[in-house]
């Protein structure tokens, strides 16, 4: 590594941004400089979030099983400090993301399913049991947030898709449209963004498809109209703006695994004791605060998910 640095969590996230590292590291670091949250804390134009599809609180009763150990993150921060490389590699892409045409939106189900099909998002949503859950989110860059998502269990979507018994993995793919998403013109990235889970992970109670936040439809910058929320894993697993679900026997190779296999693996479960190759994961900073909190194994969700990994000690479960 050409640049000597302290632990990632001692740096502003804009300088840590591990996902950049393979490209243009020097210029990005220079550009990022010490621009932290201050750069986005100014007055914001009101965002047109209410028009679009999605689910609001009215139709989404809160599931009391999912509580938080910390306050919710300020909505304005959650919707203006984003990671969405399709619209750029900086955190302030929320304006560009308004280009995303979220309605109409079609979702494709294919691979090892009884029947391949395409379904409109509105139709899919009507078939799903909608609820609200308070979840924490832990980015691999060591920033974190606490968010009220509305949506439905990924398990319900899996049932809807009717996979065959031979399916071992669920591969999830984001839209591909460089006209709407200028970041996708950066040909050196392996677009479209792909992520994957085992079937056991995908049908775990905690795996959630979010279609809204703070009782409003999902804003484009947060992954409208539907995105994954797997809070026991580093944030890059929570793929946004889903367009395709493929059931497969082969383990999917994700976007970040393709870009940086030595830093981003398939499992990516949160663990304070397994550092990223370039910084510690022992602590995290909640957006909107300067406070460093202790990171927890499986991001505090071990009760739900630790059993998924019993007997898998040989796997790189935490990168």
Ligand X SMILES: Nc1nc2c(c(=O)[nH]1)N[C@H]1C(S)=C(S)[C@@H](COP(=O)(O)O)O[C@H]1N2
Residues that bind Mo ion (CB under 5 A): 83, 139, 235-236
What's the closest the beta carbon of residue 17 comes to ligand X, in angstroms?
10
Comparing C-alpha atoms, which of 249, 246, 245, 247 is closest to residue 124?
245
**Residue 55, binding choice from Mo ion, ligand X, none, Cβ under 5 to 8 Å by partner class:** none
Task: CB nearer to Mo ion: give 145 or 158.
Answer: 145
Using CB under 6 A, list all residues that contact ligand X: 82-86, 139, 174, 193, 222-223, 235-236, 238-241
Three-class DSSP category at 169: strand
What letter would DSSP give residue 240?
A: -
Task: CB nearer to ligand X: give 112 or 197.
Answer: 197
Task: CB nearer to ligand X: give 8 or 235.
Answer: 235
Task: CB nearer to Mo ion: give 133 or 237.
Answer: 237
Task: CB nearer to ligand X: give 236 or 301.
Answer: 236
What's the closest the beta carbon of residue 178 comes to Mo ion, in angstroms?
22
CA dihedral 166, 319, 181, 21 (to 10 degrees): -150
**Residue 298, binding choice from ligand X, Mo ion, none, Cβ under 5 to 8 Å by partner class:** none
Task: CB nearer to ligand X: give 86 or 201.
Answer: 86
What's the closest the beta carbon of residue 220 comes to ligand X, in angstroms?
10
**Residue 86, binding choice from ligand X, Mo ion, none, Cβ under 5 to 8 Å by partner class:** ligand X
Q: Which two tokens stand for residue 112?
A: 């090892």
What's the closest the beta carbon of residue 177 comes to ligand X, in angstroms?
12
Residue nearest to ligand X (CB): 235
What's the closest the beta carbon of residue 230 comes to ligand X, in angstroms?
10
**Residue 169, binding choice from Mo ion, ligand X, none, Cβ under 5 to 8 Å by partner class:** none
**Residue 84, binding choice from ligand X, Mo ion, none, Cβ under 5 to 8 Å by partner class:** ligand X
**Residue 174, binding choice from Mo ion, ligand X, none, Cβ under 5 to 8 Å by partner class:** ligand X
What's the closest the beta carbon of residue 86 comes to ligand X, in angstroms?
6
Q: Is 206 left (phi over 0), alpha (psi -120 to 50) or beta?
A: alpha
In the sheet that 117-120 helps form, which strands lie side by side, from edge to edge?
A: 117-120, 106-111, 242-248, 169-174, 194-198
What's the closest the beta carbon of residue 19 comes to Mo ion, in angstroms?
7
Task: CB nearer to Mo ion: give 53 or 96.
Answer: 96
**Residue 222, binding choice from Mo ion, ligand X, none, Cβ under 5 to 8 Å by partner class:** ligand X
Task: CB nearer to ligand X: give 53 or 82.
Answer: 82
What's the closest the beta carbon of residue 60 comes to ligand X, in angstroms?
18
Q: What are the two backbone dihedrals, phi and then psi, of residue 145, each rounded to the nearest 5 degrees? A: -150, 165
**Residue 85, binding choice from ligand X, Mo ion, none, Cβ under 5 to 8 Å by partner class:** ligand X
């Amino acid at each position: 590594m050409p640049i000597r640095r302290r632990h990632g969590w001692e740096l502003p996230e804009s300088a840590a941004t591990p996902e950049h590292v393979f490209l243009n590291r020097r210029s990005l670091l220079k550009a990022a400089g010490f621009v932290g949250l201050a750069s986005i804390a100014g007055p914001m134009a009101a965002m047109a979030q209410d028009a679009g599809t999605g689910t609001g609180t009215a139709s989404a009763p809160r599931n009391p099983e999912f509580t938080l150990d910390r306050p919710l993150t300020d909505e304005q921060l959650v919707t203006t400090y984003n990671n969405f490389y399709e619209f750029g590699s900086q955190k302030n892409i929320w304006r560009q993301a308004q280009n995303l045409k979220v309605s109409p939106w079609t979702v494709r189900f294919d691979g090892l399913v009884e029947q391949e099909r395409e379904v409109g998002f509105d139709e899919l949503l009507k078939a799903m049991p909608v609820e609200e859950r308070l979840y924490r989110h832990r980015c691999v860059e060591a920033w974190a947030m606490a968010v009220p998502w509305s949506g439905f269990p990924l398990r319900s979507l899996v049932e809807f898709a009717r996979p065959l018994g031979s399916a071992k993995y669920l591969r999830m793919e984001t839209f591909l449209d460089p006209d709407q998403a200028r970041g996708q013109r950066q040909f050196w990235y392996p677009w479209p963004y792909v992520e994957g889970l085992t079937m056991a992970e995908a049908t775990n109670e905690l795996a959630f498809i979010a279609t809204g936040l703070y009782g409003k439809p999902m804003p484009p910058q947060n992954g409208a109209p539907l995105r994954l929320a797997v809070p026991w894993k580093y944030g890059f697993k929570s793929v946004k703006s889903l367009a395709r679900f493929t059931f497969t026997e082969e383990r999917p190779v994700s976007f970040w695994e393709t870009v940086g296999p030595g830093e981003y693996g398939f499992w990516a479960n949160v663990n304070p004791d397994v550092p990223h190759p370039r910084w510690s994961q022992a602590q995290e900073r909640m957006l909107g605060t300067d406070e460093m909190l202790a990171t927890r194994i499986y991001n505090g969700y071990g009760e739900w998910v630790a059993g998924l990994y019993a007997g898998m000690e040989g796997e790189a479960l935490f990168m």
